[in-house]
């Protein structure tokens, strides 16, 4: 069965507010595809357009090359798992899984065979007679997946289904979801604001902001070669420096960082960088290393303001002496152990990086992302109450 999905020039408006800017996108059959972005960016709106809960203001949705414009929700080859799961609490597990089949008129014996097969697939053999209220959070997630798969959809739509689970359970369910998707070969379209979920499970990810898709790529490319300042700021942690291009030789760009002196980085793919142009330099915390005054390459002198031990690494909050800005540095176990005596509040330390590990992108006024929630801070977010 062809589970490919194509969005052709899709636009979604609510009155005079445009929730989804003009969007075209192709998702391959059998792909695990995620929409990643902060709350209010439009990702759930896109999911509702694919499912049929919303009709786009402009454009078309195709599933398996079939237009969905006049196809009702219950007539589309899709199934959806909501954030709250929407299981029936007074029904047994069997009854929940078989509900969609019963509505379709499937005879009882076949319904039971299907539910038993799916319970085995999601590792819940023997749980069929139990009430949903007797199950743990992770077990309920699996029942919701089995119920969605029972109707044999070509595309499974998942709207932040793991958000209510604790960290350990979320991590385990990521692996289970990926395994189920691989076993079934069904197209999964996943909505999340959690970059860990998107990067861990997905074949490709579309990063969204303010109703626009900023970049579509595999997880490694998103992390290592962000196409825009928003993607660089939202996917993983990054230190951002406002700079001006001095000159460029191939990929390497020399930059004037004002009071920080001269820095350097690698030009983002396809980016036009003329001399004198204002650009942003992004350096990830894990790419910074302690240096001596004689070390070659760019150097950033700091004073340590906080030390956070996080098991496999140490995260430093430092203040740049030249500008007063914060610089976050992540040191692995071996390096942090070697410099253990120097890693204390008030100590001064210089850090450097390989310019090949730092990316230079147009200065697009990238929004500030809240480190605690992963969301764009209110001062940088447009009002998006409809999405």
Domain boundary (191, 224, 257) is at: 224
- Work out the pLDDT band at 142, boundaries 50, 70, 90: confident
Q: Are residues 106 and 176 in the same domain?
A: yes
Q: What domain range includes position 81?
A: 5-224
**Longest CA–CA separation in the chain, Å:** 79
What pLDDT, in 10s, does the model give residues 86-139?
888 889 999 999 998 888 889 999 999 999 999 988 888 889 999 988 888 888
Residue 381 has pLDDT above 70, yes or no: no
Residue 386 within any structural domain of the chain: no
Residue 378 within any structural domain of the chain: no
Q: Are residues 18 and 150 in the same domain?
A: yes
Q: Are residues 170 and 244 in the same domain?
A: no
Q: Are residues 17 and 61 in the same domain?
A: yes
What is the model's pLDDT at position 114? 92
The pair phi, psi for residue 118, each rounded to 5°, is: -75, -35
What is the model's pLDDT at position 369? 45
Q: The CATH number of the domain where 307 resides is what?
A: 2.40.50.140
In angstroms, the Cα distances linking 355 to 236, 328, 344, 384, 387 are 18, 17, 27, 38, 39
Residue 85 has pLDDT above 80, yes or no: no
- Residues 6 or more apart from 307 whose CB is under 8 A from it? 314, 315, 316, 317, 343, 344, 345
- 371, exposed or middle or buried, with CB in 10 Å at 0-12, 13-18, 19+? exposed
Residue 376 within any structural domain of the chain: no
Identify the helix (H) or strand (E) that includes residue 347: none
Residue 268 within any structural domain of the chain: yes
**Tally of domains within the chain:** 2
Percent of the chain with pLDDT over 90: 60
Residue 374 has pLDDT above 50, yes or no: no
Q: Which residues of 222-247 are buried (b: 16+ CB within 10 A; e: fewer)?
A: bbeebbbbbbbbbbbebbbbebebee
Residue 377 within any structural domain of the chain: no
| Prediction pTM value | 0.84
What pLDDT, in 10s, does the model give residues 220-236?
999 999 999 999 999 99
What pLDDT, in 10s, does the model give residues 305-352?
999 988 889 999 999 999 999 999 999 988 888 888 888 999 999 999
Domain boundary (224, 253, 279) is at: 224
Residue 370 has pLDDT above 60, yes or no: no
Q: Are residues 250 and 333 in the same domain?
A: yes
Q: How far apart are CA 206 and CA 224, in angstroms?
A: 15
Q: Are residues 189 and 261 in the same domain?
A: no
Q: Are residues 279 and 219 in the same domain?
A: no
pLDDT greater at residue 293 or residue 12? 12
Q: The CATH number of the domain where 46 resides is what?
A: 3.40.50.300
Cα of 256 vs its chain's centroid, Å: 32
Q: Are residues 90 and 214 in the same domain?
A: yes
């Amino acid at each position: 069965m062809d589970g490919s999905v194509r969005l052709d020039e899709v636009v979604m408006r609510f009155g005079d507010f445009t929730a989804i800017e003009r969007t075209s996108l192709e998702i391959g059959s059998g792909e695990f595809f995620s929409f990643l972005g902060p709350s209010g960016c439009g990702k759930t709106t896109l999911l509702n357009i694919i499912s049929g809960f919303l009709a786009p203001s402009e454009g078309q949705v195709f599933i398996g090359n079939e237009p969905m414009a006049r196809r009702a929700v219950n007539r589309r080859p899709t199934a959806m798992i909501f954030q709250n799961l929407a299981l029936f609490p007074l029904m047994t597990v069997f009854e929940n899984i078989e509900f969609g089949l019963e509505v379709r008129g499937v005879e009882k014996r076949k319904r039971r065979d299907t539910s038993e097969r799916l319970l085995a697939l999601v590792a819940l053999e023997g749980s069929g007679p139990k009430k949903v209220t007797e199950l743990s959070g992770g077990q309920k997630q699996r029942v919701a997946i089995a119920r969605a798969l029972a109707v044999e959809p070509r595309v499974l739509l998942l709207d932040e289904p793991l958000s209510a689970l604790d960290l350990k359970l979320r991590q385990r369910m990521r692996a289970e979801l990926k395994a189920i998707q691989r076993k079934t070969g069904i197209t999964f379209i996943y909505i999340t604001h959690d970059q860990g979920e998107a990067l861990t499970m997905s074949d490709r990810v579309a990063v969204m902001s303010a109703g626009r898709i900023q970049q579509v790529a595999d997880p490694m490319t998103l992390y290592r070669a962000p196409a825009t300042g928003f993607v660089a700021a939202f996917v993983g942690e990054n230190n951002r420096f406002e700079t001006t291009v001095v000159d460029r030789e191939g990929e390497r760009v020399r930059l004037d960082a004002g009071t920080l002196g001269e820095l350097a980085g690698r030009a983002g793919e396809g980016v036009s960088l003329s001399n004198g142009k204002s650009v942003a330099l992004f350096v990830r915390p894990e790419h910074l290393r302690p240096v001596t005054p004689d070390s070659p390459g760019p150097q950033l002198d700091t004073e340590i303001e906080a030390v956070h031990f996080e098991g496999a690494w140490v995260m430093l909050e430092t203040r740049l002496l030249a500008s007063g800005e914060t610089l976050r540095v992540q040191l692995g176990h071996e390096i942090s152990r070697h410099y253990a005596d120097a890693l204390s509040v008030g100590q001064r330390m210089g850090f450097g990086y390989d310019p090949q590990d730092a990316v230079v992108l147009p200065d697009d006024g990238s929004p500030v992302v809240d480190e605690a929630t992963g969301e764009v801070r209110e001062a940088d977010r447009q009002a998006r109450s409809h999405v």
